[in-house]
Structure 1
Amino acid sequence: MATILIAALSPVGHIAPLLAVAADLVRRGDEVTVMTGPAHVAAIVAVGARPHPLPPQADFDERPFDSAQRAAASGVSGMSEAITRLFLWPMPHQAAEIDAALAATRYDAIIADHGFFGVLALLLGSRRDAPPVLFYTPTPPTLSSRDIAPIGLGLPPGHSAMRRMYYRGLTVASQKILLRGAQRAANRFLAELGARPLPVPLLDCGILADRLIVPTVPEFEYPRTDLPDNVRFVGVVRPHPPHRFAAPRWWSKLDTGRPVVHVTQGTVDNKDLSRLIEPAITALADADVTVVVSTGGRAVTDVAVPIPANTFVAEYIPHDRLLPKVDVLITNGGYGAVQQALATGVPVIVAGSTEDKPEVAARVAWSGAGINLKTGTPNPDQVRAAVTRIRTDGRYLTHARRLEVAFARRDGIAEIAALVDEVIDEHHAATR
């Protein structure tokens, strides 16, 4: 039996897969503490883990940097501002919570959401009894590489020496200029916490952990000749399914043989439904498809366009129940939702322009399993044309099914448990 601390930010895309990991570790007999926002206390208790609620200042807080601001900022520079305001500002408070947890309990390992930067103070501090750390990334890997463009630009991998040289120049520019502010902020916080400065660019901090867990398959990630040794692809990590699912009255309409299109803006960047949900509803109003819209927790009445007869709207529908009935997913590019869709063999249309969304969209297009609309605010004509292409060109479904087979070979949650055992054994061997 091991004692495990899981530390994650509270947005669903960050905490939901790690709650599933917590449930699995508890089932096998481990003692698990989950450090995240207080809104998830009931869910943590339900899976048999112990909650460690974060104070507000240590958690993800998008209020000072709302959806409109994130949409206005694009590329690497926009991502730098988002990293600083959304992820670095909580860092000192997260480090304090980790210190308090370690003072109260001897943990054998820590699994940290890659956006939980407070753990960097532990990795770069002088604490000799620090347990091994596994980073879990809820986004495409941010690691720099000589083979690909810097994260944030949404560019496909380079296939020529000239293109790779160009990408290396972009990487240097992004690290030395565009991300300089975020790097300095991180080092300032680390100094205040008594830790060493980052020995690598901030977005390469995953290599500092004992393992960097990537919840996808290699077939969906760009090939790299310089992938760090600590990176492990584990396949999809599905969120813990709800104990009860009350199917809506229209649920049987999804089994009539008519193609089903699912539309979602995720659970974070969904304050402005006119960015994707409303154009998609308008685009498909007269199409011979059934449209299922999830508002990601927003009230159904917040949808400001007429709801046509072929469209059903709900605040939330668990993907493990819905995706097996879906033929096309239209999304703003949440990494977890895209992985779940492809693991079910569902082609994807991505309209995303904030944070990691352009990178997810670019990988969807590169894999052949979907379409990158290259905008976060498509018009109805763009959405309608993309759905028509997906439905009439069988290559998208073929590539989605190819990825489904690759995902079927992996058990993400079981592989994470094995990695936990692996780093604990290595740590014990090194400290004997």
Structure 2
Amino acid sequence: MNVRTYLFALVDGGGTVPPELGAAQRLVERGHQVTVLGEDSMASDVAAAGATFVPWTEAPNRASRRPEDDPYRDWECTNPLELFSRLLEFQFAGPAPAYARDMADAIDTVKPDLAVCSFFAIGAMVAAQARGVPFDVPFPNTYLLPVDGMPPVGLGLRPAHGPVTRFRDRIVRSLTLRQWNKGVPALNSVRASYGLPPVQEFFDQVHLARKHLVLTSAEFDFPAQMPLHVRYVGAVLDDPAWTSATPWTPPAGDGPLILVALSSTFQDQTSCLQRVIDGLAGLPVRGYVTTGPAVDPGMLTAADNVTVVEAAPHSQVLPHADVVITHAGHGTVVRALAAGVPVLALPHGRDQADNAVRISTRGAGITLSRKAKPGKIAAATQGLLDDPGYADAAGRLGAIIRRDAEAGRLIAELEEIEPVRHGANGDDLISPTPS
């Protein structure tokens, strides 16, 4: 095996960090040199992965995952247009020049064989392309870019099944792309400053990647007509590094164990957590709530049968759990399913409604509004406990997720360094090894 040098350019998306750093750690364990250009909030996680940490200096760099350090504050948006505007201004197009400068400096220092660029770090992709370094883009979730057959992201839609829903998808996709393409002038300005030709669509920059590595199972995602450079490589099921120092013992009693885990970043989830606790208080169960680093456990009022802690390694909790109640972030969902545990999903935004509909479509759980009352949460939880069909479906899907997670395709794809050449329009001239 040839020792390679990798440069990861990562943005702290909360649940995206453990699988991305899981890839970095696996490369380190195989003897490769790995540097992570990232935010200070993930510095200890990078150290735990065994990689070298380099902070963003000009690009956005949050100090922690607490809400006061979040530069985007997407939970404040009241409508989709406001969300698009904020994402472009503060996460994608606006800071692209700064991401590009930091990435160019890191490339000149590290001299990587391959860059691995977070989907959020568009500017880092520009710098990699300008420096002639092939780059991959990991998707630690389902596939997010528009493709034929896949419902538009963010709305929790099922796949189209007739002319009406196919028309729905075309309209929503067109409206969505129109919003994203408002970032094209800013992106092309950055590209021009590095001597690169303009792109037509905002996501053309992402499609210039050597590979898109989708860190889930194809059977969890919906089927669609994928470009040649898309690879389903299986989920990374590692616990976040920040949970490893927390010992876990099962709470007292013998009632069903309900694990509650909402976002590891702030999504204004405190009131939802309290309503979950209040719902579980009326059931003959043992509730176990992990708030994550964004919410202080002291802000919640625990019930007699509900334990509230900041963190616990879910890999130790899940073998004992009977139901998982979650915001439906991809990492929590796939770990729950891999353990054969059905899910009550309370989506809060981002890609969470899309994960929730994939769970309910496969019969592995139930979805409620994040504003659901305690009584409704309690009824849905009891329904998951009473109907073994949910656990059976979770077990069937979980067996596939475990199989793909253990197959090693992620590292095999990253170690296949031969770059892909692209035409002027981004089409592959030499296709990657077929899936």
TM-score bracket relative to the smaller structure? 0.7 to 0.9
The equivalent of 1:315 in structure 2 is 310
1:83-136 CA-to-partner distances (Å, cap 9, x unmatched) read: 21442233221111110011113211111222222233136x544xx2221111
Per residue, is there more helix in 1 or in 2?
1
Contact 2:5 2:113 in 1 (8 A): yes
- Aligned to 1:32, the other structure's residue is in SS state strand
The equivalent of 2:182 in structure 1 is 181
The equivalent of 1:235 in structure 2 is 234
- TM-score, normalised to structure 2's length? 0.86
> In the alignment, does 2:407 pair up with 1:405?
no
> In the alignment, does 2:279 pair up with 1:280?
no
Pairwise CA distance, 1:321: 1.7
**C-alpha distance in structure 2 between counterparts of 1:210 and 1:118, whole Å:** 16
**C-alpha distance in structure 1 between counterparts of 2:375 and 2:400, whole Å:** 33
1:27 to 26, 29, 35: 29
**C-alpha distance in structure 1 between counterparts of 2:149 and 2:419, whole Å:** 33
The equivalent of 2:137 in structure 1 is 135
1:234-262 CA-to-partner distances (Å, cap 9, x unmatched) read: 222123665954425xx2326x5421111
**C-alpha distance in structure 2 between counterparts of 1:319 and 1:116, whole Å:** 29
Pairwise CA distance, 1:197: 3.2
The equivalent of 2:296 in structure 1 is 299
Contact 1:132 1:209 in 2 (8 A): yes
The equivalent of 1:387 in structure 2 is 381
Contact 2:234 2:401 in 1 (8 A): yes
- The one-letter amino acid paired with 1:54 is W
Equivalent residues, number: 413
| Structure 1 unmatched ranges of 5 or more | none
- TM-score, normalised to structure 1's length? 0.87
Are residues 326 and 73 of structure 1, via their aligned partners in 2, closer, same or farther at CA, if it must alter by over 3 Å?
farther
2:411 to 417, 421, 426: 417
Pairwise CA distance, 1:184: 4.6
- Aligned to 1:131, the other structure's residue is in SS state coil
Matches within 5 A, 1:212-251: 212-224=212-224, 226-239=225-238, 242=241, 245-248=245-248, 251=249
1:324 to 307, 314, 319: 319
1:172-223 CA-to-partner distances (Å, cap 9, x unmatched) read: 23223x4343445444544455443334443x65432111111111111111
**C-alpha distance in structure 2 between counterparts of 1:324 and 1:82, whole Å:** 40
**C-alpha distance in structure 1 between counterparts of 2:244 and 2:90, whole Å:** 33
Contact 2:134 2:419 in 1 (8 A): no
- Aligned to 2:17, the other structure's residue is in SS state helix
- Aligned to 2:34, the other structure's residue is in SS state strand
- The one-letter amino acid paired with 1:237 is V
- The one-letter amino acid paired with 2:258 is V
- The one-letter amino acid paired with 2:346 is A
> In the alignment, does 2:342 pair up with 1:347?
yes
Are residues 185 and 389 of structure 1, via their aligned partners in 2, closer, same or farther at CA, if it must alter by over 3 Å?
farther
Pairwise CA distance, 1:317: 1.2
Are residues 408 and 372 of structure 1, via their aligned partners in 2, closer, same or farther at CA, if it must alter by over 3 Å?
same
Pairwise CA distance, 1:158: 0.8
**C-alpha distance in structure 2 between counterparts of 1:261 and 1:116, whole Å:** 36
1:336 to 331, 338, 344: 331
The equivalent of 1:165 in structure 2 is 167
Contact 1:113 1:138 in 2 (8 A): no
Contact 2:340 2:395 in 1 (8 A): yes
Identity of aligned residues (%): 26
Are residues 329 and 190 of structure 1, via their aligned partners in 2, closer, same or farther at CA, if it must alter by over 3 Å?
farther
- Aligned to 2:260, the other structure's residue is in SS state strand
| Structure 2 unmatched ranges of 5 or more | 64-68, 422-428, 431-435
